[in-house]
Structures are given as structure tokens and as C-alpha cells.
Structure 1
Amino acid sequence: MSLASIQKLIDPSGQKWPTVEIITRPTGAKPPLHALVIGINKYKENVHLVGAVPDALAFKSYLTDDLRVPEEQITLLVDEQATRANIIEALQNIGRPDNGISRDDPIVIYYAGHGGQVDPPPDKTANTLPVQCIIPQDTSKESDAVPIPDFTIGALVHCIAQEKGNNITVIFDCCHSTVGSRNIPENVRFVDKADLPKLPSSLDEDIIQATSSDFQDVLNLPSPEILFGDQDSHVTLAACGYGEAAFEDTVEKRGYFSSALLKLLRSVQIDSLSYRRCIQRLPQLLTRQPQNPVCEGKHADRMFFNARVQGPSACYIPIKPDADGLYLQAGLVHGITPGATYDIHASDVPDPSDPPLATLEVHSVEPFVSHLKGTDVPNLPTVCYGRQADYGPSRTLDIHITQEFADEAVPSDVWARLFRGSLHELVVRPVEPELASVIVSVNSKKETTFTLKNPVLVEHRIETLPSPDYPTIPPEAERVIPVLTSLSQWDWHLRHTPDVRPFHKMIDIEFYQLQMTGEYTDEGNPVLVPEGNNLNADGVADIIANLENYYGFKVVNRSRENLYVSMVDFSGQCPSIREHPVADTPNPTIPANASLTIGYGSGEQMPLMFALNDDQDIDVNFFKFFVSSHPINSGLLEQGSPFGDERCDPPESKMKELFEKDALWDALTISVVQRAHPKEEDPVRIPPPDSTTTEPPAEPEPTTEPTTEPTPAPAPDPDPAAGPGTGIPFTGRSEEPLQVQARSAAVVNGAWFRTPALTKELIASIRGMMLRTFSKQQVPAGATETEQTGAYYEISVIGNDDLPKLLSDETEMIYRSHSAPSDSEYKWENGVAFDESHELWSKLEPGDCFEVMVVARGRGWVNDADRGHLVFW
């Protein structure tokens, strides 16, 4: 976090803060942690990955460099080493007696590579669910190397737990169930079962027979939960939830989950963070589809490795008594937040003979001291020390305050109260930008901006609030803090799910456009029915906002429970929370093995309609469905927009009152993206001049089409300006006109202009590209354009050798954009929009660039290109 920006807010005088003494002692003994680390990029038959091996090496480096785990306590298998036989042998070796691993020593098993879901073997067809599996490097339909199924991994881990205890952590950076998309997206760690060999009968029977009878009884259940669920043998951290995809970043060559996990683990004291809190504190992963890491296991609330790994050193903070209690001699500048707990020790030297005298909670925080609760501890020595035991409540909002905001903020003692923890409904934790849920900054007009890290909002470039439809927010505490309070509630309630997910595999959310049947209900409302296919694709529906279009949901309950359903609408640009009426009945709203329609299907149901303001091109609403075994009072979550006339004062303890006591509940969310234009026809966007100074800007304004009236010298469309804060990472534009004429049937072309060289940051940020030209063509008398003739433009991907790059089939990466207009006057034309799914982006590397070619083909064809530029978004 930027301590300078926090200090500027709390103490605008600029005085230097005093240095606080924190005693750091080496822990001495080597950590008793043992690890198996597996990473596979290069598969024998399946699609290669780029980030799995770097993830594995980075995780090993964390163990050796950060936690000081000796190399001899780590087994590393990468690529060709990670065969089926070697993985199984390595797992068996961990569980062998007399191998140097004592009972209850921490054990971590890390896997990065492909996962999958296959049919159970013929002798296990009683199981009603498919089998989850990991894909060894040598998996092949032509050999005996089949995927390693969950029951085999579970049996191996169970054997380890029997011999070594249940201090076992299993980390999977792969998909572990069928990816929900109709087409498997690119850059995911998943192999479809059609590309995998079938599991044979009696697979790994020797391994299963070595387990206890209790474990074998679990395997015989109709739908066994072996690696996931409430198992006692281990805690599982997985890169994504059921039906989701685990993506990897092909630019950084890392998995999104592993990268975020290691960044978080390196920022904390490992023995003070629980597994569940770790997953809760992960920032939202900026993937193209929702990816929500999960933590499962009976011991998910344990500290990492059961607090038996402290890292290379331990930090002890002196505690001093005062008239009103005990004060920890460290505070906000050290990342301490209200609700954190500290073990109180008589000594500042790590020693098993010095157990904690007490555990106290931080009540309030000053810049460099923290007041502790419950200070009536008997026999507390005059000099004692605090060592962090837990990082505090999960409801803390991780924020980053930029220096630009701190420089413009109006001085107020409320800023100090914010970070002290004395604002009742809001607890914040200052963090670095990559770990923040909200980034607070200012734009060029010195107005406050709030940038959310919600991946759907980031993808559609509407993550920076407030939008132009709402009043601006000056950098004043009285205006900013209510917004942060609202954003804290909005972000937490949208992301929050129960620790145990009892229904998420048994509930389907479908979304349909509706059509009228011509019939009417007794109440006089038109009867509506679904038109076309389910629009929900992997938790996202993409529609055209038009008040003439009607929409509705269908909730399918495949469980054996009668359930209550509530639907809550989270607006992406307010951010407000509104309950949507479902059914006015005291009875369960969706019986077992039945479905419920919302927006159609009964006399009083009204359809959903979506509209955008005239100056708005896109918006997102998140519809969250709460399902429970008891009635749900989701109206308690409602809050208005903090950007309107009404300030947002959300009620306290909402989640406590949301469900009745002892209710089983779950939640599923679908994002509805509303566009003013079809996706493939999105207008070229020119950035606004006053976006935030440090983060991606608010949604840019669309370009207006230039006049098509004939003029001798029409003015060109304004070119987009490149550079920081413009909303367009960079551009390429022509320096002068170019005319190309074909004198035969052969192709004649000329290089018109190139972009600057791409950097890895640009490659990561660009989501689409379009060529825009101001030109005309001359057509031979009586000729019409065909595939063999015409005047058009091509875009090439140029590599470091100054030649077009090649695809795997040796085809040059040259792509046709559009034809020049057949007109006597120059006209502006938009080319093809190359979105992120196009193969043009598949081979990009830092140093590459794009080149635009002016082309004419066929005798007499002329392409007269006056001006042109490439636009990126």
C-alpha cells in the first residue's frame, strides 16, 4: 500500500511519522513442511499450456525462498516427469513410514495442468455423477495412461492422512468439472472427455484396497464427494467452482489463480491466515468468464498448514499499557486493521516453552498504535509482545488510495476515523492495487473516481464510477465515505456465498427472450413464452437493450429439497441493490425436481425489460438467486445508489437476518450485459478527456459518423489520441495518402503504416481492434468486385524478423479488413472488428506490431487511400 497517500489523508501537515520498533527474530528450525509440486505444459497428446510449469516453479520458489523449506523436502515433477506412474508413486512415497515425515507435519500437494471430467468406469456406474480427474503428461488413447480419477487421488490422500495425519493441503490450478460453455473457451486448463481415454474397470484397485473400509464405503455412495466437500483428510483449494473454467494468462504465462494466490500469501504472515479467509481475500480474477476459487474441507478454518510453518522469521510487536488499556506499538502503517487478533507472549523469542498468555482483538487503529480489546488479562507481565494470530473480519474492504487522490482530498478528521475503524458500517484495509477491491483516485477534473475490480465490469470497460449519468463526487470525506460504505456492501453481498454449498450443483439458472402468444390472462396481461435458446452462457447473458424486448428467468431445481427462491438485482453502474419479487406465498417457491419461472408463466408475472440512456452504449446488471430450505428476507439487502440525491445508509447485520436460523442456503449469479448495438457492430470508441488518472477510464463516447455529403475536401474523422488515461492503449495511423493500381490480374499492394511495437502490458489490455479508412476505389467499366478482384485493406501481424508471422500450419497471419467504398468521393468506412476471440491475437508477443496494407487486385482496379487509423479498445 502507499503509506505516503494514507499519511497525506490522515495528517496533511506532512510531518514525518515516527519509526515503530517491530522485533523480527529468526525462527531457527527448518519448517517441517513436505511438498509435491506438479506442473505440466507439454502434453503427449492434449493441447499444450503455457503457464502451468511457471506456476509450479513459482510455487516451489515460494516454499524455498519465502518459507525456507529445504529442497530435499520438495518433490518437483514438470512436463515429461509428470507421468501417471510418477505422480502416483510420488503420492505413495509421501505416505510411507520412516520417510522423515512425522505425524501432523504439514504436507502440501500442488498441481497445475489440465483437469477434466469423464464417465465412471464400468464397475462404478452406480455413481450418478461423472468422475473428476487430473490429466498426466502421458495421457493417451493409444496407451494405458488414463487420467487419474478423483477416487484414486482421494485414496492416495486418505492413505497419507492415515499414516501422517490430516495436516494436508491440496491445491488444484485446473478445471475439476465440465466447463459450462457450449464451446470450450481458449486458454483454459481443461480437456473434454471426447479427447480422453475411457477409464477401465478395476482401475487402481490396489490403491483403493489399501485404504480403510470407511473410505471404501464412501466410494460406494451414489454421488461420492471425494476431493471436494466436507472431507476430514485434507483441505482443498481449487482454482474455480463447479462448472467454471480455470484460465491462464498467455501474456504473463501464468495461471490467474496461482498468480493471485502467491501474491496474497507473500503479503501475509502465513501462520495467521486461515484457508477460508485466504480464498475470501483473493482479488477477483480478471478472466473472460467468471472464475471463483473455492476452499473446501472440514478444517477450512484452520490456519495455513495448521500454523506449523512460520516462515523464516517471526514478528513480535511490543505492547505498552496506558491509562485506558493496552496498546500494540504498531498500527495502520503496518497493515493492522480492527478485528485482527494477536497472541500475547512474555518473550520476543520464538520458543515452544512460551505459549500465548492470551489472545486479544484489535479494537481501533491509529497510524502507529493499536488499542486492544479485553485487557483484563491476569498476571500479564509489564513487558510483553504481540504476535499476529488472525487478520480480522472477512467483511473488510480492501482499498487502494492513489497519491493523486490524497493530494486533492479536502482535509478532514473523518479520514483518520475511517482508517482507525471507528466508522460503524465500514472497515477498510489499505492494500496494493492488485489486491484491492476498490481503487480510489481522481480524474483530470479533480473529481473522485472509484474503480471496481469486478471482472465483468472490467471486461466491458465500465468499472470506473460514477458514470456520466450521476452527479460527480468531490474528494471530500463526507461524500466519499458513504460511497465506500455502499461499495463495501455491494461488493461483499454480490461475492458472498456460504462456506458449504449444498445446492449449487443442483440448481440451473436459465435466461430467455420472451415472445407474445396473442393470448391474455384473466388479469388482462399478455401470455409470454420463451423464444429461442437459453441465453445464459457460463453465467453471462449478452443482449440488446430495447424496451420492445421481454426477458425472463427459469430456475430449475434438480435436488430432492423443496426450496425458497429470492432474486436480487445488483446494478453495475449505481451500485444499487434491489429485490425482485418472485412469488407471494408462504410455501416453498420451487418444489423438488421442479422449476420456477420469473417474468412469465403466471397471471401476475411481469417480464424484465432493459433500456439504456441515450448517451449509454453498455450496462451490466448482476442477478443473484438465493435458494434456501427456509423463507428468505432478501429485502434486507436493498440499498439505493450512493451517487443519487439520497445517501446510502445500509442496515446492519443483514446476512444474519436474511435467513432463518439453521437454514441451508446457497447463491448463484448471472450477469446480464446490455448493449445498445449487437456485439459485432459496437461503434468505434473515442475516449473522454477526463478519465481517472491512474486506472482504466470510464466507458468512452462513440464516434459520430462523418457527413457523407459530397465536399471537395471533407475534414477527416478525429484520430484517437494515444497514451495514458485515454482509454486506448495505443494506435497506428497513416502519415500520408497512398494510391495502389493493379495493371494485371495479379495482386498489387503497398505498406501504408504500422503501429508501434507491442509491449506485454498492451497485449494484456487490448480487447479488440478495428481499421477505419477515409478512401475511395476506382472500378473498371462494367466490373464488379469478386473474390479475385477488388480494392481492399489487409492487416498483417509482423514479427521481430520484419515479416508476417506464421500460424502452426505455416499460413501467414494476414487478414482482410474491408473494401474501399465504390464512390466518386472519399468516404469513411469501418472494417471488421477483430475481437479477442479472433486467431489474430493468438501468436502475439512483445515486439510484434500490426501493418496495414493497401491492396488492389485485377486490371484497372485502384485503391485510393487518403487517411486511416487503427482503433483499439
Structure 2
Amino acid sequence: MPANPTKPPAPYQDGRKIDEDIANINAVEDRDHCYLPRLFALIIGIDTYQSKQFPSLRGAVRDGKKFQDYLMKGLRVPEDQISTLFNERATRSAIIEAFKDLSKDCRINEGDPIFIFYAGHGGQKTPHPDWKEPNKKIEVIIPYDCTDDSDSLIPHAVFVPSIPDITIAALINQIATEKGNNITVVFDSCHSASGTRSGGGNSSTLVRSALLGDSQLDSNTDRDIWDCHSSGTRPYAGSSRRGLKSHMLISACKSFEKAVEHEGRGKLSVALLNLLDVVSPKKLRYCDILANIEQIPEQSPQCEGDDQTRLLFDGKVDLSGKVYPINLGSTSVEYILEAGAAHGIAIDAEFMVYRDADKMLKLPLGTLVVDELGAFSAKMKPPPASPLISSRPIPPLSALQTKVGTLAKFLFYIPPEDPFYSLYQREAPRSALNLQNIFLAHEPADAHLKIRTSLPSKLLIIELTDTRVTRHGMYVVADQVKPDVENVSWILERAAHYRRELDRDSVEHVITDNDNIGVGFYRLDYSPLRRFGQKENLTRRDENLCDKDKKIIDFVVDEGMPYGVCIQNHTMEDLYVNVFFFDNRDFAISSYYTTHCPSGPHTLESPLKGGGVLPLGYGSGGAETFTYTINQGHDIEVGFLKIYLSTKAFDLSGIAQGSALTQIRGPERWQRPPPSETWDTILIPVIQRRRP
């Protein structure tokens, strides 16, 4: 973070105009019309084991199926691209063969994303002295038919060893050699062998590790596998895990910790899926996972590998396009999209049409383009010379967005004499990131963001130009950014999304006109005295920190103290509410309150009734309580509280993002005419000052 963000940067000295053919560097390539991702997966989950030596788990298979659902329903990966091994099918030979199959699958091209998930028991074994391991133990996973030492609990048992990490590493290296290193490995297991249950016999919390015999692993175990592929490192926690070049690893905990499942689900699996449900892989780098995943008590998930700044799945699974229902229009070539300006849809946005959202065909029915835009719907037509395959498909139909359409350009400025300018010009077109509508500006006055090199450090300074922020004394986002084009492109993509969502607004402010909506921002007082089973007792102070006339929140931060928002509806209309906090420090957008949009014909009850109030962070509103901090070296920081209000529930899940750096008939009352469908927003600067 900048040492002194309150001091305006020195003005640029150059006055040269950048040539047109140099300034507009557009690093976007047209997207593939066959949109289903080329991701291939192996999912392994083991709850029950052949040997009674290993206690049963409850959530490993469930976690595996949850990841399978995420891939199929969330990422729309075809089922035939996902291999699963659950319980008795997850034998030692089957697991090893499944790894080998990935390296031999002719459908997988080099660079295609590969996802490998294992949930079950892990353990530790003593290596053979010939292996010359620096540690006394190596880590293993336990297949369904593992017998470890001669198992007296299975009559006539055939010895089946566990699978050591060196074998898994060699198998992954083999896949990387054949298919490239776009491999993501997730292991929700541990290796401490410290027990199998965290409480008493009826505890709902289990530990995914098992005690193994004291015998050494045979020096010839899997030698045929790892002798030929010994260059990689192990995909588990421990000191032997260094130089991960073949894959990225997400593991449940450190080597000495316990990977826990609680109430039938692995804690890592739950936390990771919760993150993936709200953040698109296109917006998530591996290095961001641990910073954004929910904390797990007494368990420290690990994310390791050489490509930390790479996008998840190398950016090749793009969920920037959302799926919406389609209805037939009034003419043979007109279709109605059940999404409009309130959803962020723009004119000329392009969609692929499918029969069913849950069972998308590999071959879409065709393409439709937004021709006319409304608040909650849009009219679409086939583009010229590109009719639908079927002359008039019969609903239900689903539209998958593949191009954003005509949006405002996001402009950034680099002084032409700056050393980073030529580097960006040369390397930006090769970036894996999707820089749609992001361009270099001719002049600094036109830019939404400025980038320049700081001497003598040769690190980059990123400066804000938004007067809604700079007028309060905040100018610099960061002053120690590495001059790496891929990293800067990542920041630009986040900054562009941030600015577009910040600026998205209703044309007609029907809801917020005439002080129809009141907003209160309050410091909350906490009392630990409460009845058993009740939430903490939070009450708001009387002083409203939101200036009604200036429509601004300006307060001195009491760090660690809770704050809450109260939205007052002075109209008679019931309203749906979504609240986000826009943080200019890192372009993160956090959801403070979400109205979930139900699928199907059912209508969701609105949370903000006509004439009512909705408290957030305290009372009955149901939202999480939030607090604020001032970063070290800062005296002032500026964010925005943005409130979406609408008469109809609609999906805003694509807004949030992590840091760039989740009857009886009789007399009847007179019925007011139903309100026209509309939406609106309130944008309030949040000025946070350090206490003198």
C-alpha cells in the first residue's frame, strides 16, 4: 500500500499525443462459439474402507459429489469429461490407472485444464532407506482396498500398500508431460496420523487421517511409475514439497495439522466451494484463494505451486457469461431475454442458445444478439447471416452470455517515455486475460487509471483519477506493483469491472426521487449480556453518520468496532435490496446484503416492505455485522456503499469480486395498480479517517 496516499502525485511532464495505432491496444480475441469448457477431472472420495483398520468417514464421497456438481452445473463441464471413483471403486489399481488415463486421453489437448480431487484418509509411512528421504516419514493416501501391513481383520488378505506421495507426484508429472501443467490438485485429507475422531464416540467431527503400521515402504513400490517420472515434487504438505512446476496444489492443512470433516462435510471442501460459488474462475488467481477463503479454526489450508499469479484453470474456464431464460417474441425472429439493464446487459451483447440450462448440448442451437434493452428484459434477434439451427426453437430455452456488448470503455494511461509502456505494448496482446473494452488512453486526462514507474525502485505506481475519490484526498491505489504485464492486466481487468459496476445506474430514479429512501449509518454498541442461544446483543447509537443532505458518510474509524446500516422505505412499494461495498484500496467489491433470486415460478418475499425499515448488521435484518480499518501509513481511505433497490428480484451475483491485489368475498379494499417494473441505486462515498 502507498506510504502517503493523501499527497497528490506530480503531474505528468509529457504532452505528446500517442498515435492512434499504438494507443488502442485491444488484447481481446473472439471467444470460441462452442462455449462448453474443455476441462477434464478426476474425483476420488472414500468414506468406507475394506479393512476395518481404517475408521469410516461421512463426508468424503459427499464432498466429491459436490465438486462434481460444481463442475457440471456451475462450470457446465460435460459429464463424460469427469471420472469419479467413490468407495469400493477407489481401489489402489483403479486410482493409479485413472491418473494414467488422464495422460493418455486423446480428447485432452495440451494446456486444457485438468482438475484432480481426493477426499479420504491420509497417513504417514516410514520410507525405505534407499529413498534417502530427509524426513523420517513420507505422506500417503489410503485407497479403499489398502491393507497396509498384513491385515488380520481381513481373512486371507492380500497385501495392498498405501499410495506414497512420490507415486502421486510421478503420475502428475506424467500428465503434465503429455498435457501441459494446467493441473489443479485439491486434497482434503491430512497426514498427521494423530487420531480419527476429535471428540467422543458420537462426535460429528472426524479427522481424515489414519494410523498405519510401522513397517517401511518397499523400495520397489511403484518403481515402474516413479523411476521414469522422478523430476517432480510431492503434492502434499511437508518439507519435500518444493518447486511445484507441474501443477498447483490446494491442500487442507499443514503437515502437522488435522484435516477435519464436520457434520458430514470436509471443512476445506465447504470453504473452497463457498468461494467458487461466488467468484468466477476468471476472476480468481491461485494466490487469492487463501486470502479470500473463509477461515477454518485450527486448520491452515495451503496453496502451493510456481504459478501463484495464474488464473484458476489458467483462465480457460470463463464464467463471465451468465445463463438466463429465453421466451419467444412477437415475431418469428424475436426472442425475449429475461434479463436487462439492471442485470448489466448491454446492447449488442451476444448469447449462445441451448435447449436446457442443466443439460447443455455440445452444439448450441445458435446465436442471438441484444437488439433492444429494457430494465429487466431485452429483445434479441439472430445476427445477420447466422440464423438459429432450428427455425423456431420451442421453450424452455437458455441463453449463455459470450460477449458483453457495447459497454463504456475503460481507459488507462502510461506515459509513452515510461519503460513499462513499451513492455506493455509488446506483451499485452499475449495475455491470457480477457481485456474486453480496456484501452490505453491518448491523454492522462482521459484515463480512469494511471500507471507509471517509480524510480529508483522500478516498481509501478497505480493512481486513481476518479474525482469522487480524489476530492477527499485519496490518490494512490498501490505504489509497489511489480512491472509484470500479466499482473498489471489482472489489475486492469478488476479495475474495469469495478468501475463499470460502480457507474451502473438506472436512467430514471423513480424509487429514490423525493427522498423516498432514507439511509442511516451507525456505530453499534456491543453487550456480551444475552440469553443462551441468542445472537450477540448489538444496538445502534443515535448519531446517524450518513449526512442526509450531502449523501455522504464521513466518520472517524474506531477499528474493530461494529457498524450497521439502516435503509428506510418511505414509499408504499415493497422493495428488493442488494448492498455492496466498493473498496478503492484494491478494487474489491464485497456483498453486504444479498436478495437471492429464486429459480422457477415462485416469487421471493421482498425484505424491505413499503413504509418499513431494513437494518443491516444488527436487529432482524439478517446481514453480517461489519467493521472498518485504516491501513498503516494512511490517514484517509474512501470507499462506496452502493444500494440496489428494485420492485423485482434479480440476480446480482456477478458483481462481487475479490481484491485485485461472497378468501372471503365481500367488501374489498381498493387495489392500487401494480407498480411498473423498475430499479434504482444509491451510491454513497464512505470517508474513513484516523482518530487524531
TM-score, scaled relative to structure 1: 0.37
The higher radius of gyration belongs to: 1
